[in-house]
Chains A and B, each alone.
Chain A
Amino acid sequence: MTSIPTIPLGHWVSHGVDYLTAHYGASLNAVSHFIHSLISLLEHGLRAVPVLIFIPLVAVLSLLALGWQRPRAWGLALFSLFGLGLVWDLHLWHALIQTLALVLAAELLILIVGIPLGIFAAQSHLAEKILRPILDVMQTMPAFVYLVPAVIFFGLGLVPGVIATTIFALPPLVRLTALGIRQVPAELVEATESFGATWWQLLWKVQIPTALPSIMAGVNQSIMLGLSMVVIASMIGAGGLGNEVLQGITQLDVGKSFVGGISVVILAIIIDRLTQAFGQQRKE
């Protein structure tokens, strides 16, 4: 049996990464700087609100978003009060805000990149053909894989955490944006064109508003995926609630892990219900 030579795939990728850091260091720095400012802005903003105002505020927001006449809205409001109260009581408020800032920063980047990509994919068959396999790979690639290049390009800390989260959580928004826009009835698009609308008017006045429920579902899914990255991102120093879980694991402290984990779940449930409510409100 002759041995087949091993293709040096791993070698090539490493070389590529080296090349990029060597030649695009300046741009990478700029990106890093931008993301860093974004996170600290968000974090400072969130911390500016005292906990005892923050928590009731979330409860009120739940009532507004879901409609105060509905029992479900009151359920969510109560859940927010007790859930967030619990996190605060467990001395995890600081970590929670850090995690929230990270997830929001990543979501902001996801929106900036994902919605235009989704629109592009909806309108061009070629773009769709190119994007589809890339999105498939991004979504099925184990999340850990994103950590290494993120660290190589951006070092340890929050910034690579946000980048890895962004990449990992981007696909559903692109897909659902494209889907929503492609599902706008052809007659509606024709009607709009028949009135002499420009491409831009068609997009803003008809396609995006009509696709909004689908786009909001994409936002919801990507935030949920982002939250699921929190623990993994903490492995490269992103801190926050993920850090609690990670420390619990390394110290074999089940209680600590559990407490961190339950805090992530509480945050996830609140964000999930709120973003869903925003998506559905438009439909009615």
Chain B
Amino acid sequence: MNSILTINDVKKSFDGIDALNGASFDVEKGKITGLIGPNGAGKTTLFNTITGFISPESGSIKFEGEELIGKPPYEITRKGLARTFQITRSLDKMTVMDNLLLAPREQTGESVIWPIITPGKVEEEEIEVREMAMDILEFFNLDEHKDEYAGSLSGGQKKLLELARVLMIEPKMVLLDEAFAGVNPSLSNKLVDYIKHLRDDHEISFLLIEHDIPLIMEVCEDIIVMAKGEVIARGKPKEIKNNQKVLDAYLGVVHDE
């Protein structure tokens, strides 16, 4: 298996509660992998650890063979590993367009001197990223809102904006934390198609946290199940569906959705 992300024995506790208790797995390159598990299983904590927002007590996380632990979030993103947040984080006081223009990596105009010294080159680059942003906005039906403040969008639209923004990074791998929650079914089908298209044509790998089990069974070819900070099962959707450990983990756990 050609893995893009390898997680090995990662441990993290908050005030004595083990949020991650030796989680280990790897994610295959070019696949759409699902990460499920009951509330409090440590899924979001794992995302935060992978992307450098939290430093774990021990363990190793490798992206394309390179150790990530100890690196700050911005460096990890620049390597092509991007994420969204479980609680939507649109930049409400910036326009929808600016939200997207912010995302591309290595923009000349983002260093403090070039906008002054070579405004022409910076402007050219801006035109390019703007075109790319328009394409993505059109796909998400957000193009009409491009000049509005992101704060004026609906909850569902903000989810889309966050997804659109992450794609502007042109990542090699995307971690989506409940990207489908609150998005209406027809749009979520469209999103699924789009994610498959990105995987097929752009070889982007995905790791999705999702509570919508039918959806994840349909989208993912590989599913990892976490409970209490550990991986308890791994396999194809069919295998997961019939796994007793998984059923036990979900049993008695009341869902809040």
Is chain B found bound to chain A in the same assembly? no
Q: Interface on A for B, CB 8 Å cutoff?
A: none
Identify the B interface with A (CB < 8 A): none
